[in-house]
């Protein structure tokens, strides 16, 4: 993950903020791995066995097939085809539903692609290709759900340079990589490495300048295609707010507990969590909707223990 203040992958985004949405969702699920790893343990233990059986029973199914039927808004209704014809597929969706509801990872919009299931499916597919070992902690694999869209045709890079993709990388990162490659190439060259240091530095900067001109040409194409600049897509304390959201939304802590542990006002914690949930498109936990966000203790510590036990 990049610096906590950045909410983007690269220099540009589609007009519908597709890349930004993908980035924040990936950051959120990575925060779950860090602060609530039982979520992925539960997916591994409870859903992977069904997924493995389904792969055996439907060997003709490709990942695209699974992706369509698992992430489709149609999967909210298991009485529809093909779920009603394929019991194992319906069972897989049922288990995913139970898993996502247990951990309060239910999308806000039922008419949209189920991005939580998309990330879950990506990990299930990777785990299914490896031996099943219940005594080992499953490794979570980051995946930018929903990251797709048309891109304009842009100039190719100068010979020897890698392609600059302003959707997936920021220009400064690309230029820094080019600079490092130039330095390493000079140091590894049997003759050039003996050149005077100022001359070496000048050569490196000239290579970087060529890369910068190329990046500028590509950026102009994206700007003329009305892609959005992402340089203003900033949010202070992103990593911290993601942690608060996971602790409250997923792990079942109270906002007061999080506030007391971080010396922050409960109202600030509440606003940060609301903002993150809105950005990722996850429905707020039911008891938070009812207003139990600041005050006294309630039954959620018990509920949290139940969820943890379900993951064992």
Q: What is the pLDDT of residues 63-121, one digit of tens each?
A: 899 999 999 999 999 998 888 888 889 999 999 999 999 999 999 999 888 999 999 99
Round to whole Å and give the CA distance between 172 and 160: 19
Task: List 6's β-bridge partners, or say none.
Answer: 234
pLDDT at 210: 97
Residue 114, token pair as written in the block: 């189920």
pLDDT at 295: 42
Map tokens 């093909």 to a residue. Answer: 82
Contact yes or no for 248/303 (Cβ under 8 A): no
E-state strands within the chain: 12-13, 228-229
Indicate if the alpha-carbon torsion angle 185, 188, 191, 193 is positive or negative: positive
Secondary structure of residue 237 in the 3-state scheme:
coil
pLDDT in tens, 227-245: 999 876 577 889 999 999 9
pLDDT at 293: 42
Instruction: Give the model's confidence band at 272: pLDDT under 50 very low, under 70 low, under 90 confident, else very high.
Output: very high
pLDDT at 232: 62
Distances in whole angstroms, Cα of residue 233 to Cα of each of 166, 190, 216: 14, 45, 20
Residue 18, token pair as written in the block: 């597709």
* pTM of model > 0.85: no
Round to whole Å and give the CA distance between 55 and 183: 48
Instruction: Give the model's confidence band at 133: pLDDT under 50 very low, under 70 low, under 90 confident, else very high.
Output: low
Round to the nearest angstrom and report the end-to-end CA distance of the chain: 28
Mean pLDDT for all residues in the chain: 87
| pLDDT beyond 60 at 29 | yes
| pLDDT beyond 90 at 222 | yes
Concatenating the DSSP letter of every residue in 134-192 gives TTSPPPP----TT--------PPPPTTPPPP-TTTS-HHHHHHHHHHHHHHHHHHSTTG
2 CB neighbour count, 10 Å cutoff: 13
pLDDT in tens, 137-195: 778 887 666 677 889 999 999 999 999 999 999 999 999 999 999 999 999 999 999 99
């Amino acid at each position: 993950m990049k610096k906590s203040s950045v909410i983007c992958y690269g220099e540009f985004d589609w007009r519908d903020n597709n890349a930004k949405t993908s980035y924040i969702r990936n950051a959120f699920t990575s925060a779950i791995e860090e602060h609530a790893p039982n979520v992925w343990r539960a997916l591994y233990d409870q859903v992977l066995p069904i997924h493995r059986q389904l792969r055996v029973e439907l060997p003709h199914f490709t990942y695209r097939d699974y992706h369509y039927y698992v992430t489709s808004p149609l999967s909210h209704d298991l009485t529809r085809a093909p779920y009603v014809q394929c019991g194992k597929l319906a069972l897989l969706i049922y288990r995913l539903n139970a898993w996502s509801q247990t951990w309060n990872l239910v999308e806000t919009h039922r008419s949209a692609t189920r991005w939580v299931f998309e990330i879950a499916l990506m990990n299930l597919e990777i785990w299914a290709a490896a031996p099943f070992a219940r005594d080992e902690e499953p490794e979570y694999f980051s995946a930018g759900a929903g990251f797709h869209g048309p891109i304009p045709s842009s100039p190719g890079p100068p010979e020897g340079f890698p392609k600059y993709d302003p959707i997936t990388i920021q220009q400064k990162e690309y230029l820094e990589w080019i600079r490092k490659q130039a330095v390493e190439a000079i140091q590894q060259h049997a003759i050039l490495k003996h050149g005077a240091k100022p001359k070496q530095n000048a050569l490196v900067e000239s290579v970087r300048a060529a890369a910068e001109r190329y990046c500028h040409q590509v950026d102009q194409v994206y700007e003329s295609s009305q892609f959005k600049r992402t340089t203003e897509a900033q949010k202070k304390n992103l990593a911290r707010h993601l942690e608060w959201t996971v602790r409250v939304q997923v792990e079942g802590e109270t906002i007061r507990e999080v506030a007391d542990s971080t010396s922050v006002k409960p109202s600030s914690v509440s606003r940060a969590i609301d903002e993150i949930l809105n950005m990722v498109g996850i429905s707020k936990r039911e008891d938070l909707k009812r207003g139990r966000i600041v005050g006294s203790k309630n039954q959620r510590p018990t509920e949290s223990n139940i969820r943890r036990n379900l993951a064992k």
